[in-house]
């Protein structure tokens, strides 16, 4: 299972997340949103990360050519498209793509249209917020999506509830951001370590149950 820590803004805390066992680190590239970085700021952090960690730039409704240019400048190894982007636009990119989907209802989850087996990240929905809200959503909405996609569950996750999300949805990955912070935009290494450890324990329990 992939464990993602998103909204990284500093080298020391991003490195702490990688050392804690996070597989993916997210960097917000949506201007005028919390935790947003410039490509130069992101590059300063990504250059200091270990090679085994996926470095994910998070974009909202930016042209594919612009996403590719910024991703190259910032040193990203994957991108997350968190707006109304289509698969045609995503397919123009030479990097792995995570499609973000904000679920307002079970009906919205059922209507999700993206090629099977691709990576899809589901989050809670707030019409006034283009990205993450820091709030959970009813995980049963996403349960039917897990067999269709490489599904990442996001939205208000922390050490306190990530195991419940994993048990209920059995996703390909989990993602957390604001609940891992000591203040807005500042990751707390202890909270990150606890989140990663809780996710790994839940993953081990599921694997043991299968065998």
Rounded Cα–Cα distance for residues 100 and 171 (Å)? 14
Cα torsion for 122, 123, 124, 128, to the nearest 10°?
-120
Q: Which residue among the candidates 94, 123, 160, 175 is catalytic per the annotation?
A: 123
Query: How many residues would you count in the chain?
Result: 211
Q: Given 6, 94, 160, 188, which residue is catalytic?
A: 6
Tell me if residue 6 is catalytic: yes
Q: Is 126 a catalytic residue?
A: no
* First vs last C-alpha separation in the chain: 17
Report yes or no: 106 and 122 within 8 Å, Cβ to Cβ: no
| Closest C-alpha to 149, from 87, 209, 83, 98 | 98
Look at strands 186-187 and 181-183 and give their pairing.
antiparallel
Q: Name the nearest CA neighbour of 174 among 112, 111, 132, 125.
A: 132
Give the residue numbers annotated as catalytic, written as ranges. 6, 123
């Amino acid at each position: 299972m992939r464990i993602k820590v998103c909204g990284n803004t500093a080298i020391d805390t991003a490195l702490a997340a990688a050392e804690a066992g996070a597989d993916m680190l997210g960097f917000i590239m949506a201007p005028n949103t919390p935790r947003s970085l410039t490509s130069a700021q992101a590059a300063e952090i990504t250059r200091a990360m270990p090679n085994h960690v996926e470095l994910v730039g998070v974009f909202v409704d930016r042209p594919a050519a612009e996403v590719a240019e910024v991703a190259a400048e910032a040193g990203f190894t994957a991108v997350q498209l968190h707006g109304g982007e289509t698969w045609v636009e995503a397919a123009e990119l030479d990097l792995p793509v995570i499609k973000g989907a904000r679920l307002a209802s079970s009906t919205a989850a059922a209507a999700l249209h993206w090629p099977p087996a691709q990576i899809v990240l589901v989050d809670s929905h707030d019409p006034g917020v283009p990205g993450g809200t820091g709030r959970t959503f009813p995980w049963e909405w996403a349960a039917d999506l897990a067999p269709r996609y490489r599904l990442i569950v996001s939205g208000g996750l922390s050490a306190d509830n990530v195991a419940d999300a994993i048990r209920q949805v059995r996703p390909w990955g989990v993602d957390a951001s604001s609940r891992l912070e000591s203040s807005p935009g500042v990751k707390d290494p202890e909270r990150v370590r606890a989140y990663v450890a809780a996710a790994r324990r839940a993953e081990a329990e599921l694997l043991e149950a299968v065998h």
